[in-house]
Amino acid sequence: MEDETQFENPREFNPDRYATGGKSLEQQVIPFGLGKRSCLGESLARAELYLILGNMLQRYNISEDPMKPVEIRSITPFGMMHRPQGYNFLISAAS
């Protein structure tokens, strides 16, 4: 990930580099490694993400913003990949 031939300014935090470009993300970034030398903590990290997300969904209510109703449609910027259109939502503590 610090190879300047693959990423411009590799030491600078720039999440947009993962969303754009012609190179496949799978070929350039493998955060947990592959094969028998892969990270032992991958399953722990995935389990923790599952627990954190579950706890957040239990403790908070997520609803659409009544001032800006949601129109459901997808945006296809590159012709192959669908992503949802941006929208506003409200997060409040669960009662």
Question: Binding site for heme, residues?
Answer: 39
Binding residues: 39
Residue 13 dihedral angles phi and psi, to the nearest 5°: -70, 120
Per the structure block, which two tokens stand in for 35? 């094969």
Q: Helix or strand or coil: residue 9?
A: coil
Residue for token pair 């350039």: 28
CA distance to 1, 16, 31, 72, per residue, from 11 (Å): 9, 14, 16, 37
Q: Which residues contact 89 (CB under 8 A, 6 or more apart)?
A: 62, 63, 64, 65
